[in-house]
Structure 1
């Protein structure tokens, strides 16, 4: 579904991604783990058209999307749920969800998808007329995921969905990611909680200072001594 071929991305003089290649197959959850500043968010921003690679190619569903506008990439079904939730604080929950569907014209289907989001996250239904800025962190994360689902993603890029959430909510969010995947959405997950991410992913890549240093089956990687020491708190 997604094939990233040897991309190089710069922030000014900083070489943020250095010859990164990876692939995501249809139906998978692939996780990208790595320390802060490794380039994980940069990679997602490049895939969704917010940053342009200097060299290399990105193929989505067999077509090159490198250098295309973010709007064009969204229209093809590659949807980015950004780090830090980024809900529109002065708009209601319902208005945020409507914005997720702003490129769609199929009004009946939009209505059905909205009901689907409320079914998945009943708390959002209770608060649908509430300003999003007044929601808790966990509720804002549900809203950010719900808004992304309103775009009908073929591939969902999720950036740090568990960041800053209470442990109990973290479980909920990972369960939600699994459910979304089981219902047919392919997921590329960036996550600092490597332990949880490796539990739900099929495959994983490890990014260090802009380079992919390891990749493989998620369950196997979670048993690797190297990964345990670096990302799983040594146990």
Structure 2
């Protein structure tokens, strides 16, 4: 479904991504793990068209995304839950969700998807008329995910969905990630909580200073001593 081949990305003179290659097959959860500054967010931003690459190739559903602007990437069936949630704080929960469906005009389908989001996130239904900026961190994360689902994405990019959340909320978010995947959405997950990410993924990549240094079975990585000491705090 998604193929990234030898992409290079620069911020001024800083070579942030160095020949990154990865694949995401339909129906999978693929995770990128790595320390802060490893290039995880830059990889997602390159894929969704938010940051331009210097070289390499990004292909989604057999179509090159290299020159495609971000808003057209969304129309092609990809949505991005950004790091830090980035909800529209001065708009209500419902207005945030409506903005998620901005490229759609199928009123019945949009209404069905509001119902789907509220079924997945009952707290959002309770707060549908509340300003997003007044929600808790966990509720804002749920809103950011719900807003991305309103696109009806085939591929969902998720950047640090557990960041800054209490452990009980983290578990809830990861349960929902699994549920979204089971309902047919492919997921590329960037996550600092390596243990949680590896426990739900089908495939994993490890990023260090802009390079992929390991890829393979996440269950094997959970038992790899070098991974355990570097990323699992063991």
- Aligned-partner Cα distance in 1 for 2:132–2:71: 24
- Aligned-partner Cα distance in 1 for 2:221–2:63: 30
State the match for 1:123 in structure 2. 123
In the TM superposition, residue 222 of structure 1 has moved relative to its aligned partner by 1.1
In the TM superposition, residue 104 of structure 1 has moved relative to its aligned partner by 0.7
| Matching of residues 154-165 of structure 1 within 5 Å | 154-165=154-165
SS in structure 1 opposite 2:86? coil
Indicate the RMSD between aligned Cα atoms, in angstroms: 0.5
- Aligned-partner Cα distance in 2 for 1:222–1:12: 36
Q: Over residues 79-101 of structure 1, what are the superposed CA-to-partner deviations in whole Å (9 max), with x where a residue is unaligned? A: 11000000000000000000000
SS in structure 2 opposite 1:84? coil
Count how many residue pairs are aligned between Structure 1 and Structure 2. 234
State the match for 1:106 in structure 2. 106
- Aligned-partner Cα distance in 1 for 2:134–2:79: 25
Ranges in structure 1 where 5+ consecutive residues have no aligned partner? none
Q: Over residues 165-211 of structure 1, what are the superposed CA-to-partner deviations in whole Å (9 max), with x where a residue is unaligned? A: 00000000000000000000000000000000000001100000000
Q: Over residues 98-122 of structure 1, what are the superposed CA-to-partner deviations in whole Å (9 max), with x where a residue is unaligned? A: 0000011111100100010001100
Q: Over residues 115-167 of structure 1, what are the superposed CA-to-partner deviations in whole Å (9 max), with x where a residue is unaligned? A: 10001100000000000000000000000000000011100000000000000
SS in structure 2 opposite 1:9? strand
| Matching of residues 57-76 of structure 1 within 5 Å | 57-76=57-76
2:197 is the counterpart of 1:167: no
Q: Is the 8 A contact 1:9 1:54 kept in 2?
A: yes
Output the TM-score relative to the length of structure 1.
0.99
Output the TM-score relative to the length of structure 2.
0.99
| Matching of residues 7-156 of structure 1 within 5 Å | 7-156=7-156
State the match for 1:3 in structure 2. 3
Query: Moved runs in structure 1, 4+ residues, more than 3 A?
Result: none
In the TM superposition, residue 66 of structure 1 has moved relative to its aligned partner by 1.3
